[in-house]
Structure 1
Amino acid sequence: MSELLFYRKPVALNRENHRNLKFSPDSKFLFSREINSVPLTGIEFFEASRDLPIFFSRNESGQYFPLALLSLRNNQHALVDEDGSWQGSYVPAFIRRYPFAMTGNQTVCFDEGCKQFSEEVGEPLFDEQGENSTTLNNVLQFLTNFDKSYKATQEFSATLAEQQLFKSFDMQVMAGDGKPVRLEGLHVVDEAKLLEVEPEQVQRWFKSGQLAWIYAHLHSLGALRQLSKQQAQANAVAEAKEKAEAGALN
């Protein structure tokens, strides 16, 4: 399921079974390296649009949802270095919430295969009475806020679809290594059609702040050039490393 994209061994957090579990926070994001996009909520559009293109994807049920494009290559991105540090200006909340998650039915899960969990080292998730610790309450607050934003974004996307504002985005771009890549299966808001939307709907978007989401999305499309540049830099670093390793062997 998409909610648990990075999780190797997702399990539901249980007050009894995990009474002694401890968690060690980490600011590294190596776990995300093998993807090229993640879902993005509308409230994140402003920050993300600085260096991440925002598109809309359509699932098998015909529902649209925004995503942040992390790379022009499949199954990889260059926004984390070898140490796992994030190289961009904004880390999507979908990534930051790992190794925790909240499923559609409000079940809190965690990746039991993640090394940040232990019964010996870290911050307790439950106190001696079995109540939530401050650490766990902070996690739950983040997950709850994310879930609320996610649902609001679903409604926003559905309204855009009802207004028939989506158009396919199909173009060829350079991936940073001199090779062209064709982007397919993505959608963007049709700005020409946006100008034809009834004033009452535009006013509702304006009052909710969602009209700004639309323009942040459109503004973000210029970040495709930034992705190409990042990929070129990553390719140069990888090539230099290969040459250094080859020289060491000789």
Structure 2
Amino acid sequence: MLLFGISQFVGSRHMLIAGAKMVDTIKPVTRQAHGERSWRRFGDYRFAAASTVVRLAGAEIAHAAQSLPLAFAEGDGKPVLVALLGFVQGQNLFVAPNGRWAGRYVPAALRGWPFVLGRSPSGETTLCFDESSGLLGRPGEGEAFFGADGEASEAVKQVFEFLVRTRRGQEAADAATALLAQHGLLEAWPLKVKDGEHERAVNGLQRVNEAALNALDAKALGAVRDGGALALAYAQLLSMGNISLLGQLATAHAGAASRQVQQSHAHPNGNGNGDLTKMFEPDDGNGMIDWTKLLDD
């Protein structure tokens, strides 16, 4: 098992952070480049399979804390709130082998893909599209980026507005996190996970120091509460119980990988993968995602 310092991922493409540095395949959406092109909606979460951590927005903290372990990791020299999705570099345990999401809550930062927010050279917020997604098509193959009037389509406008709300929510979470740090309420999280017969450390994570939180005087406690950081602190503390879910998912992934190896030996022509494709399959089994619902807060 390869364990790592979480902080190296904060701000990377794997986190799908709005405003992250541009990579070659993420292009600004323009009439010149996309006026005659189309796009398709994602049908599974394989695109997030390497997202080991993902930033959270303020409005989703209460929902996320019920299903995901929350932590703080360093990003651009400051602590940021993240959901921890795995222990191993480049692995998201919540993405099942068939691409389905194996949890009860999907972080907002993942829901707008293949669109992301970037910044133009002049610093303006820009809607971008990941052209390595496989979801960029020729005219008529999917939904249009722009209408006949040259304006962005309603669907594209909806995605842009959702991404902007998510970014603002991340900024609100950043402000609350900064307040926790200002009052000395963050500490290293000495998280250890099983690696066979041994325990290994996961470095780079922070958690709320519950003892320091309880020791705040009335004035400091009021400042933390009024700044929206008190609710964040309790949510993070409560969410740590979800670490056990990561262990369960890791076991499930290991079992699936073992079965795949066994089936590949038993069926060298590739006809024995039926069990693997059913893993984590939800009840509806149709393999599709209602994107409209995913864009709702």
Whether TM-score is above 0.5 comes out as yes
Amino acid at match of 2:101: W
Q: 1:210 to 1:21 in 2, by over 3 A?
A: farther
Q: 2:168 aligns with which of 133, 136, 148?
A: 148
Q: Within 2, Cα distance between the matches of 1:21 and 1:4?
A: 24
Distance in 2, matches of 1:99 and 1:178, equals: 40
Question: How many Å separate the matches in 2 of 1:69 and 1:84?
Answer: 18
2:151 to 131, 140, 164: 131
Q: 1:13-92 counterparts in 2 under 5 A? A: 13-59=29-75, 61=77, 63-92=78-107
In structure 2, the residue matched to 1:2 is 11
1:38-83 deviation per Cα after TM superposition (whole angstroms, max 9, x unaligned): 122232222222232111012352x110111111222112212232
Equivalent-residue separation in structure 2 for 1:202 and 1:240 (angstroms):
52
Q: What residue ranges of structure 2 are gaps of 5+ in the alignment? A: 1-9, 17-22, 270-297
Question: Secondary structure of the residue that 1:16 maps to in structure 2?
Answer: helix
Identity %: 25
Structure 1: unaligned runs, 5 residues or longer:
none
Aligned-pair Cα RMSD in Å: 2.3
Residues in 1 aligned to 2:24 and 2:100: alpha-carbon distance in whole angstroms: 21
DSSP-derived class of the 1:72 partner: coil
CA contact (8 A) 1:56 1:187 kept: yes
Superposed CA deviations along residues 191-250 of structure 1, whole A, max 9, x for unmatched, are 111123343453455456542222111111111111001111111121112112112249
1:1-250 matches, cutoff 5 A: 2=11, 4-5=13-14, 9-59=25-75, 61=77, 63-103=78-118, 105=123, 106-120=125-139, 121-174=141-194, 179-206=198-225, 209-249=228-268
Q: Secondary structure at the match of 2:33?
A: coil
Once the two structures are TM-superposed, the CA of residue 134 in structure 1 deviates from its matched residue by 0.7
What is the letter of the counterpart of residue 34 of structure 1? A
Aligned partners of 2:268, 2:130: CA distance in 1, in Å? Answer: 39
TM-score (norm: length of structure 1): 0.89
Aligned with 2:31: secondary structure? coil
Change (3 A) 1:95 1:140: same
Shift of 1:179: 4.9
C-alpha distance 97-199 of structure 1, shift in aligned 2 (>3 A)? farther
Partner secondary structure for residue 65 of structure 1: strand
2-side partners of 1:86 and 1:213: how far apart? 25
TM-score, reference length from structure 2:
0.76
**What SS class does the counterpart of residue 190 from structure 2 fall into?**
strand
- How many equivalent pairs are there? 248
